[in-house]
Every structure is written in structure tokens, then in C-alpha cells.
Structure 1
């Protein structure tokens, strides 16, 4: 089944073939949903109206999200430290600001040879032997884009002043990971030379033809 057809196939009711038996019609599985919301079927088919949710995160509360993030980051940091040399921590902002330097470190950690193609993942999405993405995954519209820096400060103007004032207490992992919890906007590493970061991928690969 094509990914974009699953909602239609899952919500459309197909009646039994043949003659209906005597008595009251059998209750359909969707009848309870119809009693709750008569437009649920149409809404399920309209992907653009779906809300993005993250389990246990209240996306209307910056305080709750920061606390949840801090707890998750603390667990990951502790587990990475326990693994020692078998774990490599990669900061998102360093990846997008200094992609060549960061990806070189990742490939070295994985004991893989360097390839310029890792700087241009967007060129291989949807290509034969390339990267396949789901049409129903909400983050796919971001993954198809080239590495960019838009998300680094997109959130700055949205965090309430009282939350910014309590940032160090709400998320102490910020300081532990090397961030200044009071910096708004945040201070990141210097970006790479744009010419180096945007170097073209070599054309001698099957995916490039």
C-alpha cells in the first residue's frame, strides 16, 4: 500500500456483499466515532490539519517542555558517559554551523572514509539506491532540505520572559552541556567558511548520474 493511501483505506467502510440478513443492522466500528465527531473521517484524510504531538510533552507549556527535555538529556548524557569511547555526542548547532568539521568527526568515529556526499544528503532523497522517506512522516518536509541554520534562533522570540529568567533552574543540563542558559539569543560556534561548506559533491557516483 502506498503510504499516502493508508488513511483512506483505514477509514472507508466497505459493506458486506450479498443480501442483508434480517433484523437490526449490525453496528459498524465507526459508529462510536461518528457519535463523537461526524467529521472525523474527513479530518483523518486531511494531513495538513494534523497536529504534531510528542508523547508526554505539553507543547503549550515552555516550562513543562524544558523540564521534560532536561530529564531526557540527562539520561542520554549519563548513558553516553557510561559507554565511554563507544559514544560520540554531536551537538545540532555544530552540525549545521560546521557540517564538514562535524561530519568528518562522525565518520572518523564510525571508522568510515570521508565522502563529500554526506554534505549533500538532499540530493539523494527519493533516488534509486538513495534515501527513502515516508510521505506521512511530519518531519519529512524538513529532511528533504539541505542542511540549514533556520532552527537555531527561530524559537528565540517565543520564549516568555519568566521562563527565560528561570532557564538555568528548569534545564540545568544546558550549562552541563556547555550552553549559557541566560543567553538570548544564544551564542553558538562560528560557522564554517561558506565556500567550504557548500563545496559540490563529486559526480562519479551512480546516484549523481
Structure 2
């Protein structure tokens, strides 16, 4: 499987986003300020007591050799264990639109000496990544969100998945309905495991 495992790839510069208002969101000091004050919650060891990242990733079907795309990596809570689980024959491409999130995740990647992670600052609605590249896409804690309308997000995720690929959604919301995804016609819900809703790509 082709990926770039030889050295950590961390692209911090990102790009200027074309959508109206999005570049302001991307570089907003307010957004970074809010995220910075969320760090103690996102990285609190207590979080692992009710949100075990390895258990959640197993529920998503993460396994050795997969090429995985993580949308909205945050502080790297799932990124690091995902990279360890896919192993040297796999690859994790993690991204976030918030610069501080990318910086925090980059620190963890370096500390863990991981060589199978690519990290970028990217917009989930317009990633400009290659078609049909990934075996599995992780949407963990990123939907539902007003800034990620599903009518725009799902076609992009469908484009990025290989035929037969899977998308895993974890929301932390017990009443969230997978119909929010399946009504698009782009994905089929195939079950729920360890709190993770799993979907396969249609077409």
C-alpha cells in the first residue's frame, strides 16, 4: 500500500480558503483562544475513563495496513493510537482547520517518534486531496456541527474513500441518528460498535 512513512510530514502553513468567511474562521484569534481553553478538557486523563481511544478506534475498524484519514484531529487524542494501530504498513493522514490543533498534534507526533503520520491544516469541506485515496475515514467528535454542513461534507468524504471503503462516525450523542448520513444516498449504515457508527461507501 502506498503511503509516505519514512518521516513525519507536518505541513503547518495550510492554504487560504476560498469560501466566504472561512479564512477568517481558520485564522481567527477567537477560535484559537476557545480551543486553547478547551485543551484541559480534550487532554484530561479523566477523558480516557469514559472515552477509551483504542476501544473507539477498534469500533471503527482501525487495523494494521489501513490508510486512514482523520477529519478534525483536535489535540491528537485519536491520532497517536490510530497510527500505532495501523502500524508501519499503514498510514494516518490527520488534519484540522485550527492552527493550534495542528501544532498540538504535531508535538505529540514528534514525542511519539511516529513515522506513519501525515499532518496538515485543511478544510474538511474542500480538502483538495486525491480521489479514492483512503480505506477508512474517521469523523470523531466533528459532527453534528454548524460549520460542517453534511450536504457539503458527505460528498467530499465519499470522493476521498476508495470503493468499498468505510466511514466511522462517533458523536458522543446517544440519540444521534445514522439517518443523518444515509439520507444522502452516498453511504449505507452497517452497524454500531463501541459507540461508533460504521458506514460503507455506496458506488
TM-score by length of 1: 0.24
In terms of fraction of residues, the more helix-rich structure is 1
Structure with bigger gyration radius: 1
